[in-house]
């Protein structure tokens, strides 16, 4: 049995940062990864990097070859090839970086607990036991597959991870699920030239967003030719000579429908990947995620969880902050915890993208706050005109008594960048007038904040 100061299960963002930090402090570290194709984690290999790369490529395809499917399909194939090269480059860089540490050992294989300090690694019919003083679970998440008859037998059903590997552009892509992944893939493939039908089981589009934002998004999707259907209860799918057929009923009245397409994307959520990891007294919740305290410690002594596997919001940047919280607890003043990083922004990389932080108007009203609300069409910002991206809306909610920003939604070009300015103001409890009167560069989307907050 080999002895380590730390065992990290999963080669994801937080885990690789932690491994390097511990190695720099002369800890002897083992990293276990089930697949050599996942060095660096989901973000590098099957999430943020490949999807955002293809989203950018799809915007280029739309500008160059709008309404020319053959040209867009060729561009798509080339774009997938470029994406693969980038992913391979970053994966190799991650691998090379950790291999440069003499006190880090990388094990390929499937990890499972034998006790709360011993992990078995199984690979190619061989097994090895590792014992660690501290163990960190960083195994990420995996797509949830809905209960649809014929799904496992179909050659045309994909998850977000497997669809990214396809080099042939679907003529008609069906997407089951209108959450973040579903909407991002919808605008991406519509930009490449696919006909896209977005299917949502609920009766309300974007249920967690204010209605004006949801309506603005719906209008933008329709302008890109994306059809949105609500109240969808998928029953079965079967392959045909030309693709596949999905059968579903309308939740509101039970009407049956048959929808043909070339591919079906299953965008029905993700779950924590904890198979074989709950045999050491590590408690999981009803969704299967590992239960942790504010410092990311599990219910088993000396076992920690970080990233998607600990449940909650699944963002790469939270995994990075998990690393900061753990290192603060191990080597710092132990004051960092998961609560003190709130509020945290999120982004949906549609076209245009949507960024949000804090509360919505509907939530603030329900909670009885006295608020002021300001809205600004994206088209009112000169930079949106110069970029020829005028779709969308900016919206902010301010506490009428304190002048503090309670929430903000930016549905516009460059929203992923601009939202960080709002987040910085909220995090530091600044009065809204700081952004109202700030001198921004011109022309920029950031200066739209001047006008957005001018209404108060």
Radius of gyration in angstroms for the set of CA atoms belonging to the chain, rounded to a whole number: 23
Neighbour count for residue 129 (Cβ, 10 Å): 12
Q: Which of 56, 97, 172, 442 is catalytic?
A: 442
Structural contact between residues 268 and 144, judged by C-beta atoms closer than 8 angstroms? yes
Structural contact between residues 456 and 374, judged by C-beta atoms closer than 8 angstroms? yes
Exposure string of 72-88, with b = 16+ CB inside 10 Å and e = fewer, is: bbebbeebbeebeeebe
Q: How many CA atoms lie within 13 A of 130 on its CB side?
A: 28
- What backbone phi and psi angles, to 5 degrees, belong to 221? -65, -40
Whole-angstrom CA distances from 354 to 6, 183, 257, 320, 372 are 39, 11, 31, 22, 21
- CA-wise closest residue to 253 among 232, 237, 234, 227: 232
Q: Is 442 a catalytic residue?
A: yes
Return d(Cα 280, Cα 301) in angstroms, integer.
Answer: 10
Return d(Cα 221, Cα 196) in angstroms, integer.
Answer: 10
Return d(Cα 397, Cα 392) in angstroms, integer.
Answer: 17
Supply the residues annotated as catalytic. Answer: 442
């Amino acid at each position: 049995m080999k002895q380590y100061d730390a065992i990290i299960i999963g080669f994801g963002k937080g885990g690789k940062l932690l491994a390097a930090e511990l190695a720099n402090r002369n800890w002897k570290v083992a990293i276990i990864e089930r697949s050599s194709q996942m060095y660096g984690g989901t973000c590098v290999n099957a999430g943020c990097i490949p999807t955002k790369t293809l989203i950018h490529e799809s915007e280029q395809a739309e500008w160059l070859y709008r309404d020319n499917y053959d040209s867009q399909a060729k561009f798509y194939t080339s774009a997938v090839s470029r994406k693969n090269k980038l992913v391979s480059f970053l994966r190799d860089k991650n691998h090379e970086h950790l291999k440069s540490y003499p006190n880090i050992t990388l094990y390929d294989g499937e990890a499972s607990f034998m006790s709360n300090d011993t992990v078995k690694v199984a690979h190619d019919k061989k097994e090895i036991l590792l014992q660690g003083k501290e163990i960190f679970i960083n195994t990420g998440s995996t797509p949830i597959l809905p209960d649809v008859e014929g799904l496992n037998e179909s050659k045309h059903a994909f998850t977000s991870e497997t669809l990214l590997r396809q080099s042939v552009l679907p003529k008609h892509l069906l997407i089951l699920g209108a959450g973040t992944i579903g909407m991002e893939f919808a605008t991406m493939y519509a930009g490449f030239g696919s006909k896209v039908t977005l299917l949502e089981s609920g009766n309300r589009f974007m249920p967690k967003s204010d209605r004006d934002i949801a309506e603005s998004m719906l209008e933008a999707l329709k302008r890109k030719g994306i059809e949105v259907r609500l109240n969808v209860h998928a029953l079965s799918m079967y392959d045909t000579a030309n693709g596949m057929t999905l059968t579903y009923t309308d939740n509101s009245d039970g009407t049956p429908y048959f929808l043909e397409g070339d591919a079906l994307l299953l965008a029905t959520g993700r779950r924590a990947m904890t198979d074989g990891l709950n045999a050491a007294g590590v408690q999981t919740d009803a969704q299967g995620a590992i239960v942790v305290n504010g410092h990311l410690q599990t219910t088993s002594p000396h076992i920690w969880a970080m990233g998607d596997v600990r449940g909650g919001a699944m963002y790469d940047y939270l995994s990075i902050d998990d690393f900061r919280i753990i290192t603060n607890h191990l080597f710092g003043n132990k004051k960092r915890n998961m609560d003190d990083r709130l509020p945290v922004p999120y982004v949906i990389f549609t076209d245009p993208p949507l960024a949000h932080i804090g509360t919505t108007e509907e939530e603030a009203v329900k909670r009885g706050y006295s608020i002021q609300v300001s809205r600004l069409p994206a088209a009112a910002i000169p930079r949106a005109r110069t970029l020829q991206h005028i779709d969308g809306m900016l919206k902010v909610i301010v506490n009428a008594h304190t002048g503090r920003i309670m929430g903000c939604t930016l549905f516009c070009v460059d929203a992923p960048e601009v939202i960080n300015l709002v987040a910085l103001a909220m995090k530091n409890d600044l009065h809204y007038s700081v952004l109202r009167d700030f001198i921004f560069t011109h022309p920029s989307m950031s200066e739209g904040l001047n006008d957005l907050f001018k209404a108060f």
